[in-house]
Structure 1
């Protein structure tokens, strides 16, 4: 997954990191982060009572 900007500071100077797999390093704030796809929302706003399709948010209750 390509990332266009740091989710913490907005800097766009990002470099891939070898570990953990799929990690990016931000040159602006020096944070290393991973962006993951969790699942698809099944209509309506996300929040209390929202549900996801099977395979989403497993173990993140």
Structure 2
């Protein structure tokens, strides 16, 4: 198994956007919210921004 130097970045954002675009194309509702300078644990790294975005989505 390679170490950090032997791995490549995964295209997670592109993959997620592709899946959500397919969902939207079939009638689903999608809203992307990106919190700057936050990683995978947005709720821990930027709790105020996360809560604001979550409440906006839930109230829509």
Taking structure 1 as the reference length, the TM-score comes to 0.29
Which one has a larger percent strand, Structure 1 or Structure 2? 1
Greater per-residue helix proportion: 2
